[in-house]
A and B are shown apart, each in its own frame.
Chain A
Amino acid sequence: MKSRNLIIKIFLIGLILVGISASAFNLIGKNKYKKITILFTNDTHSRIEPFAANDKRLANLGGYARRAAMINQIRSEEKNVLLFDAGDVFQGTPYFNFYNGALEYKLMSLMGYNAVTIGNHEFDDGIEGLNKALPAAKFDVLSANYDFSETILKDKIKPYKIYTIDGLKVGVFGLGVALEGLVTSINYGKIKYNDPAEKAAEIAFLLKKTEKCDLVVCLSHLGFSYKDKQISDVVLAKQSKNIDLIIGGHTHTFMDKPSVYKNSDNEDIIVAQMGWGGTRLGRVDFYFAKNKLVKF
């Protein structure tokens, strides 16, 4: 009986102290929130200039210089900005036929892109084509499920990268679509395609749990969703853990607003895609707070 009383006492005193510390945190709390703004594009397809005025669907939209102006404006308003692309930067206008992707990467470097992943059209001039354009990219090119170890791209493409911004760690990794049947086999050569869902689970765990990232972002060129069961952003989102945002591409999906799904831990995960041609810029603002007591 005596020891039980003691436990109750300890518990009560503990609760009071917890209450005091909680209110103390709330007092500091006003300036203890942090914010990260994530901007992104996908399937920009060499649309250096805006679409022509006589384009049936996308007239006068997009263009690299316009995107840059919007990004600069947001950077002037927000402290913590990260900028990503989900692949298929290459192919679609004569700019690619003439300059083979180097101009796209050069301009994206000037816009301050942090990372991109690799779309299937990045191989339209073969592995050699991508290798030639890469020196113009002053950002990270990420792919976790393409194994380049037997190609000239070995060591040039990383599976993931951690960006530290305002004391927050943001882990980012890339996923590519199955190449067989999509890209002519001589163009992808000895790249080994690994299961994207398995790699995503492995890398996301590494980033969130081992590396203790505050946010995990997946750059995916898998496609938004399909009629059949093949892997897509929506399929991945629902079965995933440890990912907060999937920036998608490949299916050229126009959505009114990024969608929110529940992952396998019943936590929110956002899936977004910005159509194609650089006509839209995606934006997600994440807010962070110091760990709350409910975590105990």
Chain B
Amino acid sequence: MTNRKIVSLLIIFVLALSSACQTHWVVLHDKTESKVILLDTVNVKQDDAQLLQIIKPYKAQIDSEMNVIIAYSELALTKDEPEGLLNNFIADLCFQKGNEYLQKTNNLTASFCILNSGGLRSDLPKGAITLGNVYELMPFDNELVAIQISGQNVKKLLGYIVKKGGVPESGIVMGIKADSAQHVIIGNAPFDLSKNYIIITSDYLSAGNDEMSFFKGAISTYPLPIRVRDAIIEYIKEQTKKGITLNAKLDKRIYYEK
């Protein structure tokens, strides 16, 4: 190899090196910094004035309609598993309201009510309950529905409750042991696999959403003429009218067996 060849090889080598270096940036993963910034009044002393100004008229309209106090609650109603105060409160009232409408429209009575935990979007606070609180709890426009399914499908429904570790329901008392439903009482009688059951739920769930596939083989469906949110509002207003403050209890409707 001649000297010239050596020189040209070196030039190519250095050129290749320098061009690579100049055109490429690399992330230094070990230098990456990440954090969570809590948006509280300590970290942010003053809210952005421009946005506050823009929000103002929208807020005024919403406040005028939503800040209406419709009830008082004796305690904060929160979601929990296998049962929760909010779960029980909402499922019980949907069961009651759903049955009232089902009686009126079809002269039928449902055996129980099931909802999904994900559908309860916010807690209800202790003290004054505004219309806005109910909108935040149930923002969806889903309607109540009664649906009749076979005992075989109710068995799948019970399995779903077990799998989820409890869901908002009313009318079923059951234990959970080793991933199966135990000692299931529906209404006042033990669960009967050979019987068909009428169930109150929402139209979103009766369509089989949120893994409620047991609703897909329904025997019959009875749409009820009220939204879930409006059923909640109607019930709460009735309680207030009777001078009753809102309350709920944990009653071991779903419990773990040893």
Number of B interface residues in the complex (CB < 8 A): 66
Q: Mark A12-53, 1 if CB is under 8 A from B, else 0.
A: 011001100100010000000010000000000110110010
Q: Pick from B96-104, B133-141, B145-153, B173-181 the stretch touching chain A.
A: B133-141
A96 at the interface (CB under 8 A from B): yes
**A142 CB to nearest chain B CB (Å):** 21
Known: A63-B39, A92-B122, A95-B62. A291 touches B25 (CB 8 A): yes
**B216 CB to nearest chain A CB (Å):** 10
Known: A69-B48, A99-B58. A54 touches B36 (CB 8 A): no
- Complex CA gap A290/B20 in Å reads 9
**A242 CB to nearest chain B CB (Å):** 12
**B53 CB to nearest chain A CB (Å):** 9
A286: chain B residues within 8 A (beta carbon): 27-28, 32
B17: chain A residues within 8 A (beta carbon): 17-18, 21, 293, 296
B255 at the interface (CB under 8 A from A): no
Instruction: Verify B59–A98 contact, CB threshold 8 A.
Output: no
Show 22 residue pairs from A and B whose CB-CB distance is below 8 angstroms, ordered by the A residue. A14-B10, A21-B14, A21-B21, A25-B21, A46-B139, A49-B55, A54-B126, A57-B123, A61-B40, A66-B47, A92-B136, A93-B132, A95-B62, A97-B135, A98-B58, A110-B51, A183-B209, A258-B35, A282-B34, A287-B28, A287-B31, A287-B32
**B63 CB to nearest chain A CB (Å):** 9
Instruction: Verify A256–B36 contact, CB threshold 8 A.
Output: yes
**Closest A residue by C-beta to B212:** A181
Within 8 A of A (CB), among B1-35: 1, 6, 9-10, 13-14, 17-18, 20-35
Q: Mark B201-217, 1 if CB is under 8 A from A, else 0.
A: 00010011111000000
**B234 CB to nearest chain A CB (Å):** 17
- Complex CA gap A48/B14 in Å reads 57
**A231 CB to nearest chain B CB (Å):** 16
**Closest A residue by C-beta to B22:** A290
Q: Which of A3, A67, A111, A181 contacts B209 (CB 8 A)?
A: A181
Q: Which 9 A-B pairs have the closest CB atoms?
A: A68-B48, A65-B47, A291-B24, A54-B125, A268-B29, A65-B51, A287-B31, A258-B34, A284-B34
- Complex CA gap A288/B121 in Å reads 41
A-B contact count (CB 8 A): 208
A55 at the interface (CB under 8 A from B): yes
- Complex CA gap A231/B180 in Å reads 26
Known: A21-B21, A56-B123, A290-B22. A279 touches B38 (CB 8 A): yes
**B161 CB to nearest chain A CB (Å):** 16
Q: Mark B40-66, 1 if CB is under 8 A from A, else 0.
A: 110110111111101100110110011
Known: A48-B59, A97-B139, A280-B39. A288 touches B26 (CB 8 A): yes
B76 at the interface (CB under 8 A from A): yes
- Complex CA gap A6/B141 in Å reads 81
A164 at the interface (CB under 8 A from B): no
**A73 CB to nearest chain B CB (Å):** 8
**B80 CB to nearest chain A CB (Å):** 11
A128 at the interface (CB under 8 A from B): no
- Complex CA gap A82/B46 in Å reads 22
Most buried by A among B31, B51, B61: B51
B78: chain A residues within 8 A (beta carbon): 56-57
